[in-house]
């Protein structure tokens, strides 16, 4: 088994000359093929030769990482785990890829995902299901399941994923790693194959909060290609880390916790709450509007699938991608989209098309947007008093 480094451990050994980088990457390449057979978590293996002449200017120099396969990489396939895009090779890098190249991080592969990011199991990928490294009889979660599985296995020091509903947080929970969906707009989405633009975020998966803070600081910030990206200065996340949490006020949404049926998750969650209390945080049980709680899922489904239907209307077999022949143009498009998308994706498009239909927009799509605003305002009201809102990342262990 290879040694698993944190980012700072890797950097220290690189600076001190106590690591043979060429040998390490030879071992890493063997480990990559072994883990791929075990986890089925990669759609593309990228590196051919160990990197040469690594400098120690950046903490991320030479650090092995993986990208979710909806993040565009120049001259490297980017399939979004969909048959519709199985031959798609971008001619440009996503903004986050450009930034990581500047840091000399080493991309070792593209990670499997639920098709077009639409799912929470990583069972709909064109290359098949991704397995949980702790127990390969179980799922890794999705849609960023490949990213989470590869970080948890120790193969990748960090991974980038995307999160629309819970696509980083759920697999992070199932695989026992740190996963963060940042504030919308904190990280550029230029070069990301979208699911729902008003909800999509790029995020990071690591084995520690410290590693996550290092990567986040390198990829956050404004990008002129993405008008929605934040113009605020990027904080020094790594230097701001502190074990002193005595000033934090934590809100536990008790009517969410009370719905947990798995006693194991309840026990683990309460243990986590106790840890925060013992470390000095002030923890308070609060109640979130039950009406809004029950509205969250249908609001999400309407907005996300409506936007996805619009975003992916271009995947019709005419311009690029998978194509199935027909007797005329209409038949060709119908066959292409019927055969090119997993059934679960087709169902989401049907729901999205229903919500976007002219006669339904006011009572479905626009109403969902208004209710979302009410939910956001409720959360913002809570954050006027509390620093953290705390709920379990899932209702059970990985199925």
For the range 32-38, what are the long-range contacts, defined as Cβ-Cβ under 8 Å and sequence gap of 24 or more? 32/108, 32/109, 32/155, 35/133, 35/150, 35/153, 35/155, 38/131, 38/133, 38/136, 38/153
CB 159 within 8 A of CB 207: no
Rounded to whole angstroms, the Cα distance separating 26 from 398 reads 33
Angle between helices 290-311 and 366-383 (to 10 degrees): 130
Structure tokens at 102: 């500047």
Active-site residue 274, yes or no? no
Active-site residue 208, yes or no? no
CB 226 within 8 A of CB 187: no
8: helix, coil or strand? helix
CB 170 within 8 A of CB 149: no
Name residues whose C-beta falls within 8 Å of residue 356's C-beta, 6 or more positions apart in sequence.
306, 309, 310, 365
Rounded to whole angstroms, the Cα distance separating 20 from 397 reads 39
For the range 265-270, what are the long-range contacts, defined as Cβ-Cβ under 8 Å and sequence gap of 24 or more? 265/392, 265/394, 265/395, 265/396, 265/397, 269/392
| Catalytic residue from among 153, 167, 188, 229 | 167
Rounded to whole angstroms, the Cα distance separating 116 from 38 reads 23
| Catalytic residue from among 81, 117, 143, 188 | 143
Q: What is the DSSP letter of 6?
A: P
Active-site residue 277, yes or no? no
Active site members:
68, 143, 167
């Amino acid at each position: 088994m290879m040694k698993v480094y944190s980012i700072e451990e890797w950097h220290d050994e690189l600076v001190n000359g106590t690591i043979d980088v060429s040998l390490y990457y030879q071992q890493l390449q063997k480990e990559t093929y072994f883990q791929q057979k075990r986890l089925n978590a990669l759609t593309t293996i990228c590196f051919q030769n160990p990197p040469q002449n690594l400098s120690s200017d950046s903490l991320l120099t030479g650090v092995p990482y993986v990208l979710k396969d909806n993040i565009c990489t120049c001259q490297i396939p980017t399939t979004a785990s969909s048959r519709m895009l199985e031959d798609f090779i971008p001619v440009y890098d996503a903004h986050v890829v450009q930034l990581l190249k500047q840091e000399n991080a080493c991309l070792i592969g593209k990670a499997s995902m639920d098709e077009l990011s639409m799912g929470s199991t990583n069972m709909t990928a064109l290359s098949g299901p991704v397995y949980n490294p702790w127990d390969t009889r179980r799922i890794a979660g999705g849609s960023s399941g490949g990213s989470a599985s590869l970080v948890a296995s120790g193969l990748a020091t960090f991974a980038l994923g995307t999160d629309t509903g819970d696509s980083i947080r759920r697999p992070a929970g199932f695989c026992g790693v740190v996963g963060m969906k940042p504030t919308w707009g904190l990280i550029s989405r230029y070069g990301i194959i979208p699911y729902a633009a008003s909800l999509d975020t790029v995020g990071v998966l690591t084995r520690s909060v410290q590693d996550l803070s290092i990567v986040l600081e390198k990829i956050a910030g404004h990008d002129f290609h993405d008008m929605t990206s934040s113009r605020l200065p990027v904080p020094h996340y790594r230097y701001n880390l502190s074990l002193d949490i005595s000033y934090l006020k934590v809100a536990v949404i008790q009517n969410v916790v009370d719905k947990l049926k798995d006693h194991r998750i309840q026990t683990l969650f309460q243990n986590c709450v106790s840890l925060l209390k013992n470390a000095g945080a002030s923890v308070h049980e609060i109640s979130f509007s039950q009406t809004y709680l029950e509205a969250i899922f249908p609001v999400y489904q309407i907005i996300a699938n409506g936007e996805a239907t619009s975003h992916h209307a271009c995947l019709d077999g005419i311009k690029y991608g998978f194509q199935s022949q027909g007797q005329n143009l209409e038949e060709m498009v119908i066959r292409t989209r019927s055969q090119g998308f997993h059934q679960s994706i087709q169902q989401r498009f049907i729901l999205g098309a229903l919500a976007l239909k002219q006669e339904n927009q006011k009572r479905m799509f626009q109403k969902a947007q208004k209710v979302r605003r009410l939910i956001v305002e409720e959360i913002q009201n809570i954050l006027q008093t509390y620093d953290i809102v705390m709920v379990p990342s899932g209702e059970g262990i990985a199925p």
